[in-house]
Amino acid sequence: MNGVMKLLYPISTDSRTILNLDGIWKFMVENSEKNIDVSHPLETSDVMAVPASFNDQTADAKIRNYNGYFWYEKEFNIARILRNERLVLRFGSVTHEAWVYVNGNEVAHHKGGFTPFEAEINKELIEGSNRVTVRISNLLDFTTLPVGNFSETSDKHGNKEYNVDENFDFFNYAGIHRPVKIYSTPKDYIDDIVVTPEINFTNNSANIKISSKAVGSFDDVKIYILDAKKEIVCECSGTEALAKIDNVNLWQPLNSYMYTAKVCGIKDGRVIDVYEEPFGVRQVETKNGKFMINERPFYFKGFGKHEDTYVNGKGLNEAYNVLDLNLMKKMGANSFRTSHYPYSEEMMRLCDQEGIVVIDETPAVGLMLSFTFDVSAMVNSSYEDNTWKELNTQKAHQQVIREMIDRDKNHACVVMWSIANEAANYSTGAKEYFEPLFKLARKLDPQKRPCTYVAIMMTTPEADKCTDLVDVIALNRYYGWYMQNGDLKTAEDKTRNELLEWQDRYPGKPIMYTEYGADTISGLHSVYDEPFSEEYQEDYYKMNSKVFDEIPNFVGEQLWNFADFQTKFGINRVQGNKKGIFTRSREPKMVARYLSKRWNNIPNFDYKK
């Protein structure tokens, strides 16, 4: 039984209401010696907060680093007045695989840790107290996204023990990461809304195509377009409707303007269901080596980042989301990439509102056999591995592209889809693997946004197999860190030479950096400009900035990383990755002043004409 991917974010309207199940849930790690009977409450006194990762809420190191299956459970009541409505249980995300039971009956199964799913639960409900039970797996292997190196052994009693060695550089946080809600709709309801703006820049108007899917029996669907003051600016009707906005206010980077499509299902002259979908009016495209927003060349300034905070792990933390965007704006940044998975819907809605430009990325990280911090031996045009023979992630990849675009298709903040991060695009078979995925993304997106993948250092201009698939060349490069460490003069030459080669080979494609950075210990200083010092980090960024400004088709700099973040243990990591411009608690390192001065002096538009 598969949970249905939810297209509309749950909101309260005149016809809908929400019951929030966030809070304290029962928790237990699965013991293979004991069967769990889901028809009875879990036999545990342990608890976990939701939404949050379980890992950093425990004081037990064994549980924190646990790989395998674990359980959550919560009781809830449904008011009698809602019993005749359609009732839907919705999870914002469960990482990485979930089986959901209501009163002992399975209602949903979903694999994939960063997109929502839901199930109607009317038939499973009983009078009085109800119970939702969730079995979760945090296991990753060569069929999942992200990719993990999976192995299974047995202890001396014959009990299974699982091990996952992450094929990526962030901690494998797991649990119920985003809100859990029960929402109501009428039995006849609006199920999906697709908003596709088309702008006439000559007369400052926009045609807004609004496609809606209705379930049940409606006589008509009426649509009202509301401006930011919630006043009606135009209206139309039908499941395939066209509205025209005169004197349109465009959604611009750091200057957001949001309209609302109020969609009403009508029957016998009465409004049965209402849903309100916010949207911005803007146009994105690539042209002549530039990235265009609203027909003007846009320059990306910003970050790769993570959903990663103390205690919450990857769990939704809206206070941190607000702080992060405020810190970005103060620095003059205008964008970030959802590295390396789709972020929460709450963050996407906030970016719409705040005018933050987003590159939306799938969880396709770790698509290579040789994950290592030493890339120097691998950077040559003849390097090969067997990635595309041994990985079996195509099915999961197609699923997450569908789910990501279904969820985020109407967000004005999303200007580009990133199909993968640091895959083996240099190996034989890469083109055959990625071509159908790019075709799928372009087919599914009603707004036809540009598509890219983020290329690891081994994906050189000579070695790359797939550059013809991308609209933007997005590069992760660490000259001066993983290569030429401490030698910024040589790193500068390497940076410049490679960017010029990309531009010469693909003069019509924009080029940007989606990662570049140097691990830096906050408070470590050196008169010798030593790596890991704050002085070295600043000089590293100054070197890169100098080269960026020389390359005509270079359209953006998103550094790695916004803030320090947790990773698995290893001698290359000291309590995680320290490439942050901010510490994990969001205190600035010295380089933040330099970058803030640079970015605040670079306009969002027309920096390079």
Q: State how beta strands 335-337 and 300-304 pair.
A: parallel
Catalytically annotated residue among 73, 166, 277, 422: 422
Catalytically annotated residue among 97, 118, 515, 557: 515
Is residue 261 a contact partner of residue 281, using CB atoms and an 8 Å limit?
no
Give the three-state DSSP class for 327.
Answer: helix
Query: Could you give the CA distance from residue 580 to residue 586 in angstroms, rounded to a whole number?
Result: 9
Question: How many angstroms from the chain centroid is the CA of residue 342?
Answer: 2
- How many helices (DSSP H) and strands (DSSP E) are in the chain? 9, 32
Q: In what order do the strands lie in the sheet with 240-246?
A: 189-200, 205-215, 240-246
Q: In what order do the strands lie in the sheet with 290-293?
A: 284-287, 290-293, 296-297
Quote the Cα angle for 351-354-360, to 5°.
20
Verify whether residue 276 is a known catalytic residue: no
Q: State how beta strands 180-185 and 86-91 pair.
A: antiparallel
**Distance between the two ends of the chain, CA-based, in angstroms?**
53
Query: Could you give the CA distance from residue 194 to residue 216 in angstroms, rounded to a whole number?
Result: 19
Query: Could you give the CA distance from residue 256 to residue 325 in angstroms, rounded to a whole number?
Result: 14
Verify whether residue 422 is a known catalytic residue: yes
- Structure tokens of 292? 């265009």
Give the three-state DSSP class for 288.
Answer: coil
Q: Where are the beta strands (DSSP E) in 238-294?
A: 240-246, 259-267, 270-279, 284-287, 290-293
Query: Could you give the CA distance from residue 454 to residue 450 in angstroms, rounded to a whole number?
Result: 13
Question: How many angstroms from the chain centroid is the CA of residue 438?
Answer: 17
List residues bridging with 265 in a β-sheet: 221, 273
Active site residues: 422, 515
